[in-house]
Amino acid sequence: MDNHNKLGEFGEHAACEFLIAQGYTIRETNWRLGHLEIDIVAQEPGNNCLHIVEVKTRTSDDDFDPMESINKAKIRHLVDAANGYIEHCQLHMSIQFDVMIIVGTPQDFDIRYYPDAFEPPLRTLH
């Protein structure tokens, strides 16, 4: 496995552990539908809101702000994936898009959690 894949796997594991410690239930990790992917699908107990969590992992943020990678194309991809998940699982829930940034190494890392990081763009019928 490539180093960047190992780093990403570590970050997603750390993100899941963080969410579990906060009381969330992890419904899915690395859920795929065709070319669409969701890193983590989570839910808070007693809340009818599905959390679609995008995880970005870096060893350092000195030269790069990981939030910069959450651009319009990535948002569109996440919204399409969330819609696919809702339809595939036949759920009737609201959706919240969260971003989790993991910076560091497995031995020493920092977690930055941005709940409700963005609103899905509205689509017109025209």
CB 51 within 8 A of CB 39: no
Q: CB within 8 A of 42, min separation 6: which ones?
A: 19, 24, 25, 26, 27, 50, 51, 53
Residue 84 lies in a domain: no
pLDDT tens for each residue of 51-95:
999 999 988 866 667 677 788 899 999 999 999 999 999 999 999
Residue-range definition of the domain harbouring residue 98: 3-67+91-118
Q: What would the mean pLDDT of 95-112 be, rounded to a whole number?
A: 93
Bridge partner residues of 50 (DSSP): 43, 95
To 5 degrees, how large is the angle CA 48–CA 54–CA 57?
A: 145
Q: What is the CATH number of the domain that holds 114?
A: 3.40.1350.10
Task: Please write the tens of the pLDDT for every residue from 7-61.
Answer: 889 999 999 999 999 999 999 999 999 999 999 999 988 889 999 999 999 888 6
On whether residue 97 sits in a domain, the answer given is yes
81 part of a folded domain: no
Q: What is the pTM of this model?
A: 0.89
pLDDT of residue 124: 53
